[in-house]
Amino acid sequence: MIRRKWPAAVVCGVLAALGAGLVPAGAAADGPAEKEAPKVELVLDVSGSMRERDIDGRSRMAAAKQAFGEVLDAVPDEVRLGIRTLGANYPGDDRRTGCKDTELLYPVGPLDRTEAKTAVATLAPTGWTPIGPALLKAADDLEGGDATRRIVLITDGEDTCAPLDPCEVARELAAKGIGLTIDTLGLVPDAKTRRQLVCIAEATGGTYTSVQHTEELSGRVKQLVDRAAAPVVTPEPTKGADECAEAPTLEPGLYTDREEFGEHRWYRVEVPAGRELRASVSIGADRAVDNDYGVLLRAVTEHGREIVRGSEAGDGRTDVISAGLRYPTTIPEDGDGDGDGAADTDGDGDGKPASETVCLRVSNSFSAPASVKTTPGLPLELTVDLVDGPDEAADPAAFGLGRGLWLLGVLALTGLAAGLLWGLVARRRTDLGRSS
């Protein structure tokens, strides 16, 4: 039984509260809430195959233990870390029992390095490889709050507990929109293991790494834990609609959704006059799909008129396909029609231009073999940004064709000078050859 050690709570803001009423009582409540500490769970395969001695002349288990010791020493203080095992306890042949063999070795929370190392040191290769059940339990371990969540799976073989496909488990977890990322590391993997681990990682936006040496294992796990402590921008879950009128209105940011095969998804953006909308979409093929496919991003008015579109096609040699578009709006000189020169296109008399509602439609032409599940939908990431529109008063010669002609002239002069110089050098060499 692992005892969980809780540090004393650090009370912030006490001195300010005692500051003779210089700060209003409600001021602290209005400030931004402190970001919750990131959560990471390391899921370690302790199945019987971890006895194999093919990593730097030692067993896979010995390499994993050494790597864990180095990783635990380097975990950033702000990370809440947990450790879960799979296949560590049941050595028998009963499949039903073996596929339940996953245990929380160290609970997610502030790290006691000595206690965590001691727990890992007691492990010995034992049983089955229930990757799917372990991932489900690990997701439960990381529940609660709004912290970033990351699972790092270290295994040397594919799951032995079908029909619970761990790749399908990863897709279901990603479809929940809980911001969970699963990274996978394969210890001396064969082709089947590699395919399964790649699928698990790609389903949640994670990474896959093949490991042949102890140093590679410890270095990669350290990197992933550090990444959790300083994460990149996390997409915000959203849900597109079947038509523009029902679509969610998106602010500038990064969003994630799921789109069925051959489906259309609608989103709305309010674009102020004089601003430029920039949008892009990426759809990942996180399972086997037919070779020819495409993605289309359209900007449409509320009345259905197409403004601009961006599209891209693929032939099966890439797992992610993206398309983007740009739509600049303009500020009318006198949008309210009263002749006073004030742009008041929303009719409220405040002299401010109205915003334009732009409907974004994301479509795809993916298809899949009959044996492939089409649910949940394909992972989709949509980026929305609003930037300052083009300056109409700027000299057009400074951009576009004017700049291109200027550059062309510079390149022509450079080529001419290079040609003359080379001719002089060649002639000099010829003269020297004759004289010798």
Domains of the chain with bracketed CATH:
37-227 (3.40.50.410), 236-388 (2.60.120.380)
pLDDT value at residue 285: 83
pLDDT value at residue 361: 97
Q: What letter would DSSP give residue 393?
A: T
Give the type of residue at 187: L
Residue with tokens 């994630």: 256
pLDDT value at residue 355: 85
Q: How many residues does the chain have?
A: 436
Give the type of residue at 106: Y
**3-state SS of the chain: helix, strand, coil percent to 5?**
30, 30, 40
pLDDT value at residue 431: 63
Give the type of residue at 81: L
- Nearest-angstrom CA–CA distance, 416 and 315: 43
Give the type of residue at 322: S
| H-type alpha helices, 164-322 | 166-175, 191-203, 214-229
pLDDT value at residue 152: 96
Task: Say if residue 38 is preceded by a cis peptide, omega within 30 of 0.
Answer: no
pLDDT value at residue 163: 85
If one counts every other C-beta atom within 10 angstroms of the C-beta of residue 97, the result is 13
- Nearest-angstrom CA–CA distance, 401 and 430: 43
> Is the separation of the CB atoms in 119 and 148 below 8 Å?
no
- Within 8 A by CB and 6+ apart from 34, the residues are 12
Bridge-based pairing of strands 275-284 and 39-45 is unpaired
Rg (C-alpha) for the chain, rounded Å, is 29
Q: Across the chain, which distance is largest between two alpha carbons, in Å? A: 98
pLDDT value at residue 4: 39
- Nearest-angstrom CA–CA distance, 347 and 244: 24
From first to last of its 436 residues, what are the pLDDT tens digits of the chain? 343 333 433 333 433 333 333 334 444 445 445 678 999 999 999 999 999 999 999 999 999 999 999 999 999 999 999 999 999 999 999 999 999 999 999 999 999 999 999 999 999 999 999 999 999 999 999 998 888 899 999 999 989 998 889 999 999 998 887 889 999 999 998 889 999 998 999 888 888 999 999 999 999 999 999 888 876 666 788 999 999 999 999 999 999 899 999 999 999 999 999 899 999 999 988 888 898 899 999 999 998 999 999 999 987 666 678 899 999 987 665 544 444 444 454 454 545 557 899 999 999 999 999 988 888 899 899 999 998 876 544 343 333 334 445 556 666 677 777 777 777 766 666 666 665 5
Q: What letter would DSSP give residue 179?
A: -
pLDDT value at residue 333: 56
